[in-house]
Amino acid sequence: MSPIPPPLPGTLPDSSELLDDLRGEALRLGFSRLGVASTAREHRDGLVHEAFRSWLKRGLGGPMTDWLAGHEALRRDPDGMLRGVRSVVMLATDHPRPEDATPAAGSGRVAAYARGDDYHPLLRRRVNALGAWLEARVPGCRTRGVVDSAPFSEREFGWLAGLGWFGKNCLLIDPAAGSYFLLTALLTDLVLPVADPIRVDHCGTCTACLDACPTGAFVAPRLLDAGRCISGITIEQRGGVSAALRPAMGAWVFGCDVCQEVCPWNRRAPGSAEPTLQPRDGGASLELASLLGLDDTAFRERFRGSAILRAKRSGLLRSAAIALGNRPDPPAAAALVAALDDEDGIVRGAVAWALGRWLAAGGACAGLAAEALAGRLPREKDPDVRREIEGALAGDAGHPGALSGVPSETP
Ligand code: B12
Ligand code: SF4
Ligand code: SF4
């Protein structure tokens, strides 16, 4: 292991001026706001890491559990990310607000942050440029940029850096700008003037997010069961989706904004004019039937440079089928029926369930759905898919809205 370079002088005499200049450069690069947190143990609140550990121990990490647990030590001590780190410059980037309208039948919803190009390369370029600026301004200092996917506690440091308070919906919320923003961190061995964390709980008696979550994913305020969260299911979860959760997914096919849409603090969220984050193809939703026709090459081509690639073909088509099951749309019938022969058993299983919903709902497409399911059953080799088909033919999928207490559509 190489020796840690000698520390630079503690708080530099002109550190306030340096911070002002750093802020100016960050805004010039396109970041929306910044604040600084110290990595010194006495500045951090041990309870926050404890909250993280107990969340994992209670089995609430859902599809991210292994990754988060595997990097717990790194997360506790950011020195593993940059040896000798003493300050973290936390950067907020506002993203576009979601549109208000529920998409038309046959369309799927994508979370507002993911409708344009993938934000990771954009923020990576910006944070690297900011790091290079700081290293040129203070020769000898070291920096490292962190964008989302590193084992680094972005919300904890965002809170310490004064960028918001922990809302009951788990999001960091800025009293002036709401929660539609992304976090990026610039670690440095410099000591910079730190901000004051917001210790007031501005949620007060409001519980709008907890009440609105379609899947009931909040175990308690600020405590999320990621395995029930539509965002976790549609973006991170490989394989099938529990039948009990499918109706509540509504039209969401990638991410979910419900617990932010209902938050009163987002009424004043500024949105973003960043061209690369605006919805691709000018639209905020995806036509579900066209998704079901994508093979792997076409999927990668269509979503090149988009965060949606993260779901992989299997996850996106699975979620698209579930969305069609929740909102039957006759013009999509041919695509749904054709997808019952998809090469991927996960997709076929979701399609079978969706056709079962169409069958149970009656109407124009019920006969077609029954015929397709009955025709596939003798050819189906995958036992899980066979079970889905048999359940669909037996009416187990229920019709939209049949499951009491679980809304079949998101607002
Ligand atoms: C894993 C993960 C997920 C998981 C789990 C989400 C969760 N709530 O933990 C899933 C896939 C479900 C998810 C979904 C989303 N995510 Co996410 N996710 C992450 C990731 C990679 C790690 C988060 C984590 O460690 N969670 C574990 C929990 C226990 O830790 P925590 O969120 O930091 O929560 C702390 C507080 O709860 C605190 N705490 C609890 N009680 C109290 C009480 C007090 C008084 C205090 C002080 C603190 C406190 O202690 C916890 C431990 O640090 C971060 C990026 C990163 N590297 O940090 C992005 C991140 C948190 N996600 C983000 C976003 C945008 C989302 C979505 C909105 C995306 C979408 N539209 O679909 C949803 C929102 C879902 C929700 N309501 O949380 C942003 C959040 C930005 C913001 N303004 O807060 C981040 C920071 C990514 C980024 N770079 O911008 N995500
Ligand atoms: S993102 Fe959606 S599913 Fe996840 S907690 Fe928020 S409202 Fe619930
Ligand atoms: S909806 Fe209400 S309770 Fe939820 S985060 Fe916003 S203010 Fe807090």
pLDDT at 399: 54
Whose CA is closest to atom 75 on ligand 1?
A: 231
Domain boundaries, the chain: 1-286, 293-405
Atom of ligand 1 nearest to the CA of 154: 58
401 pLDDT above the threshold of 60: no
Tokens at 79, concatenated: 């020195």
Greater pLDDT, 74 or 402: 74
Residue whose pair of structure tokens reads 């999320």 in the numeric block? 224
Supply 160's token pair. Answer: 């310490």
User: Which atom in ligand 2 lies closest to the alpha carbon of residue 232?
Assistant: 4
Q: Specify whether the CB–CB gap between 36 and 16 falls below 8 A.
A: no
State whether the beta carbon of 262 lies less than 6 angstroms from ligand 3.
yes
How high is the pLDDT of residue 2?
A: 46
Residue whose C-alpha is closest to residue 95's, from 212, 208, 184: 184
Residue 113 banded pLDDT, cuts 50, 70, 90: very high
Binned at pLDDT 50, 70 and 90, residue 299 comes out as: very high
Q: Which atom of ligand 3 is nearest to the CA of 168?
A: 5
Q: Which of 62, 112, 105 is nearest to 323 (CA)?
A: 105
Q: What is the pLDDT of residues 2-12, one digit of tens each?
A: 455 555 555 55
Give residue 48's pLDDT: 83
Better-scored residue on pLDDT, 216 or 1: 216
pLDDT band at 217 (very low <50, low <70, confident <90, very high): very high
How many angstroms does the Cα of residue 226 sit away from the middle of ligand 1?
10
Write out pLDDT tens, residues 320-351.
999 999 999 999 999 999 999 999 999 999 99
Mean of the per-residue pLDDT values of the chain: 91
Among this protein's residues, is 148 annotated catalytic? yes
Q: What is the pLDDT of residue 12?
A: 55
- Using the predicted structure, report yes or no on whether residue 404 has a pLDDT greater than 80: no
The pLDDT tens digits of the residues spanning 142-173 come to 999 999 888 899 999 999 999 999 999 999 99
Q: Can you say how many angstroms the Cα of residue 125 is from the centroid of all Cα atoms in its chain?
A: 21
Would the pTM of this model clear 0.85, i.e. be above it? yes
Q: Is 285 strand, coil or helix?
A: strand
Q: Is the pLDDT of residue 405 over 60?
A: no
User: Can you give the pLDDT at residue 99?
Assistant: 83
Report the nearest-CA residue for atom 1 of ligand 2: 256
In this predicted model, what pLDDT tens digit does every residue of 232-282 receive, in sequence order? 999 999 999 999 999 999 999 999 999 999 999 999 999 999 999 999 876
